[in-house]
Amino acid sequence: MTQFTSPRPLNLRLQKPCNPLVAPALMRQAGKHGHQQHEVRLRQAAQRELRQEILRVGRPDASP
C-alpha cells in the first residue's frame, strides 16, 4: 500500500475549509434594537413610580 502514497512535505500547511456562516456574522454590528426614546422614558417613569409607591406603603415587617 505504501507504493501508492507519496510522503507529504513537512512544511506544507493545509488551510481549513471556509465556514460560510462566519463572514455574515463578522459583518454584523451591535447596537440598539429599535428602542424609542419615548418608550424608554415611559418605562423609567413606571419604575420610579413603583419604587416611590413601595417606599410610601412600606415594607412588611419581618415575621418571627
Q: Regarding predicted confidence, which is higher, 59 or 45?
A: 45
**3 state SS of 55:** helix
Q: Is the pLDDT of residue 56 over 70?
A: yes
CA–CA gap between residue 32 and residue 28 (Å, rounded): 13
Each residue of 5-36: pLDDT tens digit? Answer: 776 666 666 677 778 888 788 788 777 666 67
- Cα gap 51→57, rounded to integer Å: 10
Q: What is the pTM of this model?
A: 0.39
Q: What is the pLDDT of residue 45?
A: 96
pLDDT of residue 64: 58
Place of cell 507504493: 3
Q: What is the DSSP letter of 31?
A: -
* Most confident range, picked from 31-35, 55-59, 60-64: 55-59
Tell me which residue of 32, 50, 29, 51 sits closest to 40, measured CA to CA: 32
